[in-house]
Structure 1
Amino acid sequence: MTFVYHNLKFMLLSAILIACSPAAERIERNERTFSRVQAAAVSHNGQYSLVSTTEEGLRLFDTQTNELLHNWQQEDEGISQIVSAKFSPQADVTLAASRMTLVLWDTQSGDALGAWRNDDSFILDVAVSNQGQHIVLARNDGVVLLFEPATGRRVEFRVHTDKVNKVDISANGQYVLSGGNDHQAILWQTDPVQVRHVFPLTGRVTELTLGPAGRYALVASATQAEIRNLVTGDVQQTLDLGARQKVFTTATFSPQAELLLTGTASRLVEVWSVASGKRLCSWRIKGRAGEHPPRAAIIGASFINANTIVIETSAGFSELWRLPSSCQAPRSPSSEE
């Protein structure tokens, strides 16, 4: 497959368990690759996982059957170092980016829907709306670049004053959440472009994610993690990170935004209550056998259903876990009648 990259400047076209009683139960552990994983993503519905290695390229899996659906190469001249991979909210497309290039893939057919180059600055993170109608890049020059492949519309959002580490976009492409080294996350509207809320933090933004239906968002630094109400901009809850610093490497809300699932580079999985901000359960996964100390960052995670989650690790494994009843979303009064 030959890629034609368009220059964005001119054309846009079994785990060690802790603090969890009763314990979460590991259902499956499947090896995705023998190599270390550079980047990974799990679709919002938990159906697909995408993992990237320098040796094997991009590999798309069905999380239920563990079938390898597609094996892609990002560049013609060889396998590139992938820095970010994201699914659209409906999982109809996935977007993968190296420092300078990005490719949009169709998850069903496996076709490349578009390939672009970004020569102005390094890409640090990406996000994509449904059908790939909007693509957004976080760059180390402080710019958030939004473009629409079908129309050629291009927006450079220049409100951040330092490099932008993380970015997310709503399913319809109308809102972007971006955060960087300037100690703030910004929720902004894409058409017309205007800032809706600014969320200050005590340190650089290390993780953020938009919840379903535009209700909540997580914004986090190493010492502060807040669930924000996106309508009012107010702090919904502050997560208790403890005395030590904690850097989330992945985060996602449950489909009804009742729970928040997070992972860290130190093999820690945590499930939080959005209503109370309390940690409901947590546990550490295993690394690769014979590895001391174990290295298995949680770099992708999602809910499959109300009581089952899937995670992807840098050690090259996918794991399915069943949550205990104490770690599941509370039933609403109407469901108990």
Structure 2
Amino acid sequence: MKHLLLFILCLTLSACDLGNKPAVMFQHADDGSLASAISDDASIGIVSSVNNGIVVWDLEYNQKIYQWNHQGEEGGNNIIANIDIAPDKSHVVTADRGAFAIWSLQTGEPIGFWRIDESSIRDLAVCNDGRAILIGRGNGKVLFFEHTTGRRLEFLGHQEKINSVDLSPNGYYALTGGNDYVAYLWDTRTGQVVYRFDHPSRVTKVVLDSQGQYAFTADSQKEAIIWDLTTGQEKSRLSYIQRQKIFSFARFSEDGKWLLTGSPDRHLTLWDVETGEKKQDWRVRPGSNSLTKSAVVYSASFYGENQVISESSSGWAEVWDIN
């Protein structure tokens, strides 16, 4: 009987694994990646890896468009660990711990490089037209920077290091979360707080809906909340059984009905915004060099009518069917 049960369990696990197969997959970094980003419309993917620098991919045809390196990296290893693409696909911002760069996606040329000396860069975001950059730092300060005018605004509302930031497409509103258990939605024109979202532990991931309807904030323990930005009140909470769940990525669908999240444990998940219930879950390919055979989901986007596409630390782009 024990052998029969073991055989049935093996069959069940095999069936589950078969159901987790991507529809299509492309290798974008042989040695795994340090960071990745996918555009809102899933047409552009950007992958940072140690040996290949920063590579911009056309995801429709799986073709390289550009290959970039930060200043001073020629002959050395690439260490870019933060990437963001403007919602209108006009610009890209990339950063290591101490410097960031703005690039034009139209020409492939750099707009400029800037160094942050005061504290390390923890996360960043860029708005439409590449007009402004938002940078969260290890000292708890958030820098809003308009490179065309030189205008700088420092948000000092956080008391501890910043873990995650996001910027509205027009650049007027910022969402920031840190180790002080708080996420703030604030106005970049004035520095004034619009809403304060409290958590029982450090806030590890924040994201804004591109239409300005919702915000998502998640902490390091149990709370992952979707907020209604018209009222500042809770819309729903993601429903899961884990005692602790970390999110490495999040993105709302354009119509605001769905939320995509990624985790450091290979999981890519689709959630219903209205209820917080899980609709579907996939597991990305593990990294070949990973001792734990795991992978971090860096980015994902809705791909046509019934698919999503992901980029992970394994260096693979994978397309998944929505059932």
Q: What TM-score, normalized to structure 1?
A: 0.87
Whether the 8 Å CA contact 1:19–1:281 is kept in 2: the answer is: no
- The residue matched to 1:131 in structure 2 has which SS? helix
Task: Determine the structure 2 residue equivalent to 1:318.
Answer: 317
List per-residue Cα deviations over 1:11-48 (Å, max 9, x = no partner).
Answer: xxxxx89999x956622111111112111111111111
Quick check: 1:53 aligned with 2:49? yes
Greater Cα offset, 51-60 or 174-183: 51-60
Task: Determine the structure 2 residue equivalent to 1:244.
Answer: 243
List per-residue Cα deviations over 1:66-87 (Å, max 9, x = no partner).
Answer: 1011110012244441121000
Give the residue type in structure 2 aligned to 1:236: K
**Structure 1 42/18 Cα, relative in aligned 2: closer, same or farther at 3 Å?**
farther
Task: Determine the structure 1 residue equivalent to 2:229.
Answer: 230
- The residue matched to 2:23 in structure 1 has which SS? strand
Whether the 8 Å CA contact 2:31–2:289 is kept in 1: the answer is: no
Q: Distance in 2 between matches of 1:106 and 1:290?
A: 33
Task: Determine the structure 2 residue equivalent to 1:38.
Answer: 34
Task: Determine the structure 2 residue equivalent to 1:6.
Answer: none
Task: Determine the structure 1 residue equivalent to 2:5.
Answer: none
1:14-25 mapped onto 2 (5 Å cutoff): 23=19
Q: Aligned residue pairs: how many?
A: 308
Task: Determine the structure 2 residue equivalent to 1:191.
Answer: 189
Sequence identity of aligned pairs in percent?
34
Task: Determine the structure 2 residue equivalent to 1:170.
Answer: 168
Measured after TM superposition, the shift of residue 292 of structure 1 is 5.7
Match of 2:81 among 69, 80, 83: 83
Match of 1:221 among 219, 222, 231: 219
Q: Distance in 1 between matches of 2:287 and 2:98?
A: 31
Whether the 8 Å CA contact 1:17–1:283 is kept in 2: the answer is: no
Whether the 8 Å CA contact 2:172–2:189 is kept in 1: the answer is: yes
Whether the 8 Å CA contact 1:25–1:323 is kept in 2: the answer is: no
Task: Determine the structure 2 residue equivalent to 1:69.
Answer: 65
**Structure 1 259/76 Cα, relative in aligned 2: closer, same or farther at 3 Å?**
same
Task: Determine the structure 2 residue equivalent to 1:206.
Answer: 204
Q: Which has the higher contact order (CA 8 A, sep 6+)?
A: 1
Task: Determine the structure 2 residue equivalent to 1:335.
Answer: none
1:142-181 mapped onto 2 (5 Å cutoff): 142-181=140-179
Give the residue type in structure 1 aligned to 2:29: T
- The residue matched to 1:40 in structure 2 has which SS? strand
Q: What TM-score, normalized to structure 2?
A: 0.91
Measured after TM superposition, the shift of residue 304 of structure 1 is 1.9
Whether the 8 Å CA contact 1:96–1:103 is kept in 2: the answer is: yes
Give the residue type in structure 2 aligned to 1:71: Q
Aligned-residue Cα RMSD (Å) equals 2.0
Task: Note the residue ranges of structure 2 that are not aligned, 5 or more in a row.
Answer: 1-12
